[in-house]
Amino acid sequence: MGRRALVAGFLGAAMLVSAPAALAKKKTRGAEHYGVVAGTVFQETGFLLRGARVTLTPVPADGAQVKKKQIQHTVTDNRGEFAFRVPAGAMRYTVRAEADGWEPAEKTVEVQWDQRVDVVLRLRPATKGRRK
């Protein structure tokens, strides 16, 4: 009886250890693929610009329409950095950064499948008439 209890305990422990691993594998197989558009916003002088508003807008291919125009917004962190997660696949996006007292800047980038695209945007001081 002692030996059976020991074997049963061992098997039960083995099942508890292997169950989370099996679940983890299952989740990994069905994981969604995505791309990343990330970058940094700087002042024209080279200093980072925290708190800038960044917008990511899909750009449809020639003649094609985007089924669901999903515009994303974020704000740069203390290091002037931002990041967006985008669906995997070939798609062009416009990245636009703006902040009070600065002229907006934008770039168009292309994401292929699940790659990461890095963007650097430099904002120039706004002219006196445009400052907020």
H helices of the chain, in order, are 2-29
* Shared domain check, 105 and 86: yes
Give the domain range for residue 22: 1-31
* Shared domain check, 48 and 107: yes
* Shared domain check, 97 and 55: yes
- 110 membership: H or E segment, kind and range: strand 105-111
pLDDT at 70: 80
* Shared domain check, 110 and 69: yes
* Shared domain check, 51 and 25: no
Closest CA to 121 of 132, 111, 106, 110: 106
* Rounded Cα distance, 119 and 14, in Å: 48
pLDDT in tens, 64-103: 665 546 899 999 999 999 999 999 989 999 999 999 999 9
pLDDT in tens, 15-51: 444 444 444 444 445 567 999 999 999 999 999 999 9
Closest CA to 90 of 46, 58, 122, 68: 58
* Shared domain check, 76 and 12: no
* Shared domain check, 88 and 115: yes
pLDDT at 127: 86
pLDDT at 12: 52
* Shared domain check, 88 and 44: yes
**Is the whole model's pTM more than 0.85, yes or no?**
no
* Shared domain check, 90 and 63: yes
Q: Which residue has the tokens 């197989």?
A: 29
* Shared domain check, 95 and 45: yes
Terminal-residue alpha carbon distance, the chain: 83
Q: At a CB cut-off of 8 Å and minimum separation 6, what does 96 contact?
A: 54, 55, 57, 104, 105, 106
pLDDT in tens, 5-18: 544 554 454 444 44
* Shared domain check, 56 and 121: yes
* Shared domain check, 63 and 2: no
Total domain count for the chain? 2
